[in-house]
């Protein structure tokens, strides 16, 4: 049996256990844990800008700084996943994410100065980044191990559905809690959700990737950088939605900012449910190229529209475009590494998305301050089109 065909192992009895679909416990844990990302998305920008009185640039830095912590700890998350399994990494990450929610809660306590509250939020964002790096890397690799590499694209589609379903549910719930009861109520949910995820993960079966030579993290990065850079360019548009949609809607006097991520999530999930098999079937590069074109169209719709309904439609189209880019390029990234390095490859691959979020937040904040919030989405469209060119180049390099 070849290395690529080596079955994932059940840690408890070392029996071959490839499934036809990712294990339900993994998907359920990922959904619950990722709620701690969706819940504060529309809330923290309003808290920092309106309640604490800081500028749009500071908002972008606060949102983006989480991803600095995430990218700097992806190597650690990949090592834990490859050496001890995705289940271990997921549980560790979920507990750390709960600590981040607790810090957000503390930042809203009465009597704190704006500067102290902001500092606590920043520490919370850094803690959330450390937790997310372990939790997502662990769950994605754990899911792939449960079905085997031949279904890696399908597995990544399902993990993405769980993540963006959590965004679609978490964002409006977080906004509703914030408007009704304040930041502290919304952040209680950010503590409870990842603890539920840890409990689900603890009771689920562990699946391990095959053994073999494990490369240093920097060498894994060198093998998958083209696919990672394409993912990074895709992330610029999503970063604009997560960081500035609530402020963009408020500037226009529109009242449904909490539905932006819901619209995005509907498009995202619809595409993955209907077409999540395409990267495994027709190849990742082809799927990624056309997906980026669709994302660019969605971003242009948000940039150019004077109507709230069309802006929400643009968020939906952006979701349709973004949906398959991660599994499409992820499939191609996994083809470039040995089986024993799949956890590190996933950590490195997702790190490029972290870089996009970390850089796009402050850059978009600067663009918004200079040219208005609408320009953030023109930047997202341009980045997606640049991604089209990069993916075309990566596909040609693979052929050669």
**Ranges of each domain in the chain:** 9-399
pLDDT at 211: 61
User: pLDDT band for position 13 (50/70/90)?
Assistant: very low
Alpha-carbon span 93 to 99, nearest angstrom: 10
Taking only the tens place, the pLDDT of each residue in 295-309 is 999 999 999 888 888
Taking only the tens place, the pLDDT of each residue in 228-245 is 889 989 888 888 887 788
Residue 15: pLDDT over 60: no
Provide the token pair at 389: 């060119």
pLDDT at 321: 93
Class of domain 9-399 (CATH, top level): mainly alpha
pLDDT at 3: 36
Count of CB atoms within 10 A of residue 256's CB? 15
Contact between 130 and 69 (Cβ < 8 Å):
yes
pLDDT at 4: 35
**pLDDT higher at 221 or 162:** 162
Which residue from 278, 303, 305, 273 is spatially nearest to 289, judged by alpha carbons? Answer: 278
Taking only the tens place, the pLDDT of each residue in 37-77 is 888 888 888 888 888 888 878 887 888 788 778 888 888 88
State if pTM tops 0.95.
no
Lowest mean pLDDT among 5-14, 152-161, 278-287: 5-14
pLDDT at 147: 84
Taking only the tens place, the pLDDT of each residue in 17-40 is 677 778 889 999 999 999 988 888
pLDDT at 6: 37
pLDDT at 298: 94
3-class secondary structure per residue, the chain = CCCCCCCCEECCCCCECCCCCCCHHHHHHHHHHHHHHHCCCCHHHHHHHHHCCCCHHHHHHHHHHHHHHHHHCHHHHHHHHHHHCHHHHHHHHHHHHHHHHHHHHHHCCCCCCHHHHHHHHHHHHHHHHHHHHHHHHHHHHHHHHHHCHHHHHHHHHHHHHHHHHHHHHHHHHHHHHHHHHCHHHHHHHHHHHHHHHHHHHHCCCCEECCCCCCCCHHHHHHHHHHHHHHHHHHHHHHHHHHHHHHHHHHHHCCCCHHHHHHHHHHHHHHHHHHHCCHHHHHCHHHHHHHHHHHHHHHHHHHHHCCCHHHHHHHHHHHHHHHCCHHHHHHHHHHCCCCHHHHHHHHHHHHHHHHHHHHHHHHHHHHHHHHHCCCHHHHHHHHHHHHHHHHHHHHHHHHHC
Contact between 135 and 94 (Cβ < 8 Å):
yes
């Amino acid at each position: 049996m070849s290395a690529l065909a080596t079955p994932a192992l059940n840690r408890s009895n070392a029996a071959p256990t490839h499934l036809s679909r990712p294990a339900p416990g993994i998907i359920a844990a990922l959904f619950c844990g990722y709620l701690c990302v969706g819940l504060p998305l529309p809330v923290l920008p309003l808290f920092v800008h309106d309640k604490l009185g800081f500028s749009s640039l500071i908002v972008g830095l606060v949102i983006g700084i989480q991803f600095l912590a995430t990218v700097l700890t992806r190597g650690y998350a990949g090592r834990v996943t490859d050496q001890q399994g995705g289940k271990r990494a997921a549980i560790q990450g979920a507990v750390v994410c709960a600590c981040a929610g607790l810090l957000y809660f503390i930042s809203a306590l009465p009597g704190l100065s704006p500067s102290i509250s902001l500092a606590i939020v920043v520490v919370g964002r850094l803690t959330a980044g450390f937790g997310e790096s372990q939790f997502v890397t662990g769950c994605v690799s754990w899911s792939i191990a449960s079905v085997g590499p031949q279904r890696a694209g399908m597995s990544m589609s399902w993990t993405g559905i769980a993540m963006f379903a959590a965004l679609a549910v978490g964002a409006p719930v977080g906004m509703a809690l914030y408007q009704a009861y304040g930041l502290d109520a919304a952040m209680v949910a950010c503590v409870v959700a990842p603890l539920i995820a840890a409990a689900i993960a603890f009771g689920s079966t562990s699946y391990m990737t095959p053994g073999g030579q494990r490369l240093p993290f920097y060498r894994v990065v060198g093998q998958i950088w083209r696919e990672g850079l394409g993912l990074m360019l895709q992330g610029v548009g999503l970063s604009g939605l997560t960081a500035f949609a609530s402020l963009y809607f408020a500037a226009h006097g529109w009242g449904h900012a909490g539905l932006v991520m819901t619209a995005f999530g509907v498009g995202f999930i619809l595409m993955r449910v209907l077409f999540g098999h395409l990267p495994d079937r027709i190849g990742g590069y082809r799927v990624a190229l056309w997906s980026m074109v669709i994302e660019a169209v969605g971003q242009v719709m948000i940039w150019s529209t004077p109507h709230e309904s069309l802006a929400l439609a643009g968020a939906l189209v952006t979701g349709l475009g973004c949906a398959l880019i991660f599994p499409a390029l992820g499939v191609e990234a996994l083809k470039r590494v040995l089986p024993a390095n799949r956890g590190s490859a996933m950590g490195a691959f997702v790190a490029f998305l972290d870089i996009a979020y970390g850089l796009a937040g402050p850059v978009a904040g600067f663009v918004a301050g200079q040219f208005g919030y609408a320009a953030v989405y023109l930047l997202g469209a341009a980045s997606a089109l640049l991604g089209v060119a990069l993916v075309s180049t990566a596909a040609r390099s693979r052929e050669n």
